[in-house]
Amino acid sequence: MAFWNWNNMRSSRGRGDAACMPRVAAELMETDVAKRIELNVNGKLHTIEAEPDMPLLYALRDDLGMSDPRFGCGLAQCGACTVLLDGEPTRSCVTPVDALAGKKITTLTGIGNADKPHKLQATFID
């Protein structure tokens, strides 16, 4: 199966602009443009540059360098990627970063501290 390639879409005159691309490919290029997104994670504001449909899990692990949440099934079934969005459990592997404007994201490390760990954190320490 061949993937879409910009070079394959050039006309015989060497044009490589949107006029030569199929409509669907042109729409994909317009919607998959990275943009600045602010995330409130564990009480701290972070700004990342990402495509709007990128999963929150990737932003937390790849862009912010966090070790939690974990990647599990990628289908929102196992719960390894669970975070709290405004206090509600949410699977970060299927939550797009663009849907998080103004929401508070809390990961496992954000529910307690070293002096007074949350019950869930204490379970992992023991």
Residues 17 and 28: beta-carbon distance below 8 Å:
no
Q: What is the pTM of this model?
A: 0.69
Instruction: Output the pLDDT for position 22.
Output: 62
SS3 content of the chain, % helix, strand, coil (to 5): 35, 20, 45
The C-alpha atoms of residue 56 and residue 93 are separated, in whole angstroms, by 6
pLDDT band at 117 (very low <50, low <70, confident <90, very high): confident
Give the best-scoring range by mean pLDDT among 17-21, 27-31, 70-74. 70-74
Mean pLDDT (the chain) is 81
pLDDT band at 32 (very low <50, low <70, confident <90, very high): low
The DSSP output letter for 81 is: T
Q: State yes or no: pLDDT of 48 exceeds 80.
A: yes
The C-alpha atoms of residue 83 and residue 50 are separated, in whole angstroms, by 19
Alpha helices in 4-125 (DSSP H): 23-31, 56-58, 119-125
